[in-house]
Amino acid sequence: MEHPIPKTPYSFMRTPPRKASRILVIVGTRPEAIKMAPIVEELKKSNDVEVRLALTGQHIGLLGQALQTFNLDPDYDLGIMMKDQTLYEVGQGCLEKLKEIVQSYKPDMVLVQGDTATVFFGSMVAFFEKIKVGHVEAGLRSGEKWAPFPEEIFRKLTDVTTDLYFAPTLQAAENLLAENVNPEKIYITGNTIVDALLKISATEQEIENSVLASLLANRDSQLVLLTAHRRESFGDPLKEIFTAVRQIADIHEDVNIVYPVHPNPNVMVPAQEILNDHPRIHLTEPLGYFDLITTVKHASLILTDSGGIQEEAPTFGVPVLVLRQTTERPEAIEAGIAQMVGTDRDRIVNEATKILTEKNNQVETPELKLNPYGDGKAAERIVDILVSDLTGKARLTSDWITP
């Protein structure tokens, strides 16, 4: 289903009378929108700050899903996405068009989230205009320059420009301290993905994807969720992953595998070639967030290179095999809910078989008492810190005590 982004022209922008401190929230991809949605909602409740939302359009259809799910109404849509766009083109579009918005709106704070091109170039525009930067999900590090590419460098460079660091976990805060960041500017808040997940999973909605609805109605089979799209896996590593997935389906006749295929041709083409004709491997369009969370909740196993799903799965106690060589999210691995298997075909098959066989023997993975990535109150903490910083008011909340 198409999820168009509302088109909001900004060529006629004018600066309204200043009534409160201003925050410009910038997002470019679906994960950013999902993680920023609880913050935007919380900011709109405040009488102390004014908030506007700018979309770069780094993603279109995927981002539109999140906007609809969370009822986000953007104030600006830059529409920078181009067919087969390069990082150079994304950077140029962000810099040129965000400059217009920032110079017109004159925010007191620019708020970015994560580690995409939008995040880095958004922070650079704020720096050029001498405006404070708040970085949500600051401090994540894999320690590898090229993995994930280009995110590891984008998040490190963004943190060089940042004034308020919203670290999701103690480990992220310690990474920042190791880089000599001022500890008075670091706040451990938890990750807003947990806020978003808890809100959406508590709602009553119908499954939008018909294939998924049919599979969830059949409780005789085990459900496996696959997500794979990282740039560093393009080519042979991704083919290794897909070959392993097909082998898993062949070995375990009681397993159905759902793969919401990323629209990038580097992912779509090998997925079609290797997986498309298997009767129990279901290639679907990208799932809406409610459908995705429902799939995570009911899965017996998740195979993923996604950072977001590594953060979401612990809430439901679903075991995760991380299809990467490194991860900037070690907390789930330390909690025993995830393990790193890389892109090696044999290792993926062997570890998946262990978990799926345990499920057949009714050895359940217990749900964690507390997701190591958050408690559902991260947005409340972040907005409290923003208001305090911009207005001088005393904070009402304390940092999150990580498990």
Structural domain includes residue 95: yes
Inform me whether the pLDDT recorded for 92 exceeds 80. Answer: yes
pLDDT of residue 360: 57
137 in catalytic set: yes
Q: Are residues 352 and 384 in the same domain?
A: no
**Omega of the bond leading into 148 within 30 degrees of 0 (cis):** yes
Q: Are residues 177 and 318 in the same domain?
A: no
Residue 34 pLDDT class (50, 70, 90 cuts): very high
Q: Are residues 177 and 317 in the same domain?
A: no
CATH number of the domain at 115, please: 3.40.50.2000
Mean of all residue pLDDT scores within the chain: 89
Structural domain includes residue 92: yes
Q: Are residues 53 and 186 in the same domain?
A: yes
Q: Are residues 318 and 235 in the same domain?
A: yes
Q: Which of 115, 375, 380, 384 is catalytic?
A: 115
Token output for 348:
């993926």
390 contacts: CB under 8 Å, gap ≥ 6:
21, 23, 48, 49, 108, 109
Read off the pLDDT of residues 128-160 as tens digits, 9 standing for 90 and up. Answer: 999 999 999 999 999 999 988 899 999 999 999
3 in catalytic set: no
pLDDT of residue 9: 46
pLDDT of residue 61: 60
Q: Are residues 235 and 349 in the same domain?
A: yes
Structural domain includes residue 287: yes
Least confident segment among 129-133, 200-204, 267-271, 371-375 = 200-204
Read off the pLDDT of residues 290-341 as tens digits, 9 standing for 90 and up. Answer: 999 999 999 999 999 988 899 999 988 899 999 998 889 999 999 888 999 9
Structural domain includes residue 403: no
- Mean pLDDT (whole number) for 376-381: 96
Token output for 363:
């050895």
pLDDT of residue 96: 92
Q: Which of 262, 278, 298, 347 is catalytic?
A: 262
pLDDT of residue 67: 79
Structural domain includes residue 228: yes
Structural domain count, the chain: 2
Q: Which residues of 221-256 are buried (b: 16+ CB within 10 A; e: fewer)?
A: ebbbbbbbbbebbbeebbbbbbbbbbbbbeebeebb
Quote the domain boundaries for residue 269: 209-360
Edge-first strand listing for the sheet containing 76-77: 76-77, 49-55, 21-27, 109-113, 132-136, 164-167, 186-188
262 in catalytic set: yes
Structural domain includes residue 84: yes
Residue 267 three-state SS: helix
Structural domain includes residue 8: no
Q: Are residues 137 and 227 in the same domain?
A: no
pLDDT of residue 349: 97
Q: Is the pTM of this model over 0.85?
A: no
Element (H, E) at 246: helix 236-251
Structural domain includes residue 402: no
Inform me whether the pLDDT recorded for 2 exceeds 50. Answer: no
Q: Are residues 124 and 186 in the same domain?
A: yes
Read off the pLDDT of residues 223-267 as tens digits, 9 standing for 90 and up. Answer: 999 999 888 888 899 999 999 999 999 999 999 999 999 888 899
Inform me whether the pLDDT recorded for 362 exceeds 80. Answer: no
Q: Are residues 29 and 133 in the same domain?
A: yes
Q: Are residues 91 and 124 in the same domain?
A: yes
Identify which of 257, 246, 272 has the alpha carbon closest to the alpha carbon of residue 348: 246
Inform me whether the pLDDT recorded for 377 exceeds 90. Answer: yes
Distance, CA of 262 to CA of 242 (rounded, Å): 13
Q: Are residues 181 and 226 in the same domain?
A: no
Inform me whether the pLDDT recorded for 59 exceeds 90. Answer: no
Q: Are residues 178 and 247 in the same domain?
A: no
Q: Which of 137, 331, 351, 389 is catalytic?
A: 137
Inform me whether the pLDDT recorded for 6 exceeds 90. Answer: no
Q: CB atoms < 10 A from the CB of 266, how many?
A: 14
Q: Higher pLDDT residue, 166 or 92?
A: 166
